[in-house]
Amino acid sequence: MAFDGLSDRLDAAFRKLKSKGSLSESDVKSAMREVRMALLEADVNFKVARDFTTRVTEQAVGEKVMESLTPSQMVIKIVNRELVALMGGTRTRLASAPNPPTVILLCGLQGSGKTTHCAKLALMLKNQGHRPLLTACDIYRPAAIEQLKILGKQIDVPVYEQGTNPPAQTAKEAITLAKNQGYDYVLLDTAGRLHIDEVLMNELSEIKSSARPTEILLVVDAMTGQDAVAVAEGFNNTLGVDGVILTKTDGDTRGGAVLSVLAVTGKPVKFMGVGEKLGDLDTFHPDRMASRILGMGDVLSLIEKAESNLDEKTAAELEEKLRKNKFDLNDLLEQFRQIKKMGNIKDMLAMIPGLGKQVRDVDVDESQFDKMQAIILSMTPKERSNPEVINGSRKKRIAAGCGRPVEDVNKLLAQYKQMKKMFSQFGGKGGKKRMRGMMGPGGFPF
């Protein structure tokens, strides 16, 4: 995951402060030298790293901090506050046009993930109740239009394309279509190059002039570190962008782009790609990102992910079954499906305060969920509803049906019995209150 190296270095620097009963000015300056080195190793812009540690040092050596009972905590608090400020302070929302449609132009270098993130953004808007229209304005890259059409079909969002017609003309026609047919967002997928050149910028300028976009979003690959910031600066100087979408932030990136882009370009990160699935696009929250960098978790994002992916009706039905102690294998199967909707389990665990470091090096085998689902699906409806009827011969048949050993069937049934025994405490007086305290984000008991 992004920022692992930076988080480790910062943690090491703060551990030294925590071991001291009181802090001297030299202690703070020594820690800030380590913080600066950590930022540089994370590929943060040199000037940004220097200015950041200077600001923290000036505040941390103040009288109020030095007289604090827990000065190391005060230093961490200051670092957290400055990290949040460095990334923009608060979430920056998409602008919306006073008269629909809102036109969003996505630009960036070739290979940055523009087309995929155009579809990801369309899906996010659709899930928020909007009617987006994807528009194919990349007429150069082989199969670019076809890729957008495939993605549009996957998320059930229409794609407007006019083949190799001039992109500026296609964009203008798409906006007219959107007005006539009630689409409130038009997303323009534009062409990229291997590097910034005059031809690319001239074409983007023509599209901008023709479409008059409400927002221009630059898509940059977070894996490229400071190069991403240089790209953002180049596009902004020529085209004028309103915000940035950082892709591949779930990969082994050092994080320098996230921490540098606003300070260098003055343009905020608005979204970040956190996985390969089309639903893996998150709104960027500076305060939550700072918490994750400092190992404090990100419970709010975890809850939002749960609420956006989990079925509220299913959660309510499960709650009722638990109270009546009627939890069966059909319910367990549904829980597996609900959890898988939320994405990478290891990433979700890392959002829980205190678990980030513990799960980082743990091999979370998500295929176990598929294996357990296969076992349950190999059962008859009667067996799922009444697991007590499953005897030795039935276990052999179930094992053969899913291609798993009988031992796996026994293990699943043992886990089910253990869970049902635990849920039995929800019956009687006070059971509902105990259950709500035990149910996790979005309503599943895991």
Q: Is the pLDDT of residue 98 over 60?
A: yes
Split into its structural domains, the chain has a count of 3
**CATH number of the domain where residue 34 is located:** 1.20.120.140
Distance CA 105, CA 328 (A): 49
Residues 144 and 211 in one domain: yes
Specify if 92 maps to a domain: no
Burial classification of residue 294, based on how many CB atoms lie within 10 Å of its CB (0-12 exposed, 13-18 middle, 19 or more buried): buried
Q: What pLDDT is stored for residue 401 in this prediction? A: 92
Q: What pLDDT is stored for residue 18 in this prediction? A: 73
Beta carbons within 8 Å of 63's beta carbon, 6+ residues apart: none
Torsion over CA: 404, 407, 392, 415 (sign): negative
Q: What pLDDT is stored for residue 311 in this prediction? A: 58
The DSSP secondary structure of 216-254, one letter per residue, reads EEEEEEGGGTHHHHHHHHHHHHHT--SEEEEE-TTSS--
Specify if 91 maps to a domain: no
Coil, strand or helix at 132 = strand
Residues 128 and 148 in one domain: yes
Closest among 277, 291, 299, 271 to 442, alpha carbons compared: 299
Q: What pLDDT is stored for residue 201 in this prediction? A: 85
Specify if 25 maps to a domain: yes
Q: What pLDDT is stored for residue 304 in this prediction? A: 54
Q: Is the pLDDT of residue 156 over 50?
A: yes
The whole-chain average pLDDT of the chain stands at 79
Q: Is the pLDDT of residue 436 over 60?
A: no
Closest among 87, 122, 112 to 247, alpha carbons compared: 112
Structural domain range at position 435: 304-443
Q: Which residues of 369-390 are buried (b: 16+ CB within 10 A; e: fewer)?
A: eeebbebbebbeeebbeebeeb
Residues 323 and 196 in one domain: no
**CATH number of the domain where residue 414 is located:** 1.10.260.30
pLDDT per position as a tens digit, 274-283? 888 898 898 8
395, 406 in Cβ contact below 8 A? yes
Specify if 299 maps to a domain: no
Q: Is the pTM of this model over 0.75?
A: no
Distance CA 309, CA 341 (A): 6
Residues 325 and 277 in one domain: no
Burial classification of residue 283, based on how many CB atoms lie within 10 Å of its CB (0-12 exposed, 13-18 middle, 19 or more buried): middle
Residues 287 and 308 in one domain: no
Q: How far is CA 42 from the centre of its chain?
A: 20
Parallel, antiparallel, or unpaired: how do β-strands 243-247 and 102-107 relate? Answer: unpaired
Average pLDDT over residues 146-156: 95
Q: What is the token pair recorded at 365?
A: 């085998």
Residues 283 and 230 in one domain: yes
Specify if 82 maps to a domain: yes
**CATH number of the domain where residue 231 is located:** 3.40.50.300
Average pLDDT over residues 431-442: 44
Which of 125-129, 153-157, 227-231, 294-298 shows the lowest per-residue confidence on average (mean pLDDT)? 294-298
220, 225, 229, 234 alpha-carbon torsion, rounded to 10°: -70
Closest among 292, 309, 310, 294 to 351, alpha carbons compared: 292
Residues 136 and 186 in one domain: yes
Residues 158 and 188 in one domain: yes
Residues 258 and 346 in one domain: no
Q: Is the pLDDT of residue 350 over 90?
A: no
Closest among 73, 17, 80, 67 to 294, alpha carbons compared: 80
Residues 325 and 434 in one domain: yes
Specify if 144 maps to a domain: yes
1, 248 in Cβ contact below 8 A? no
Where among 265, 294, 323 does a domain terminate?
294
Residues 129 and 236 in one domain: yes
Residues 63 and 158 in one domain: no
Q: What pLDDT is stored for residue 254 in this prediction? A: 61
Q: What pLDDT is stored for residue 26 in this prediction? A: 84
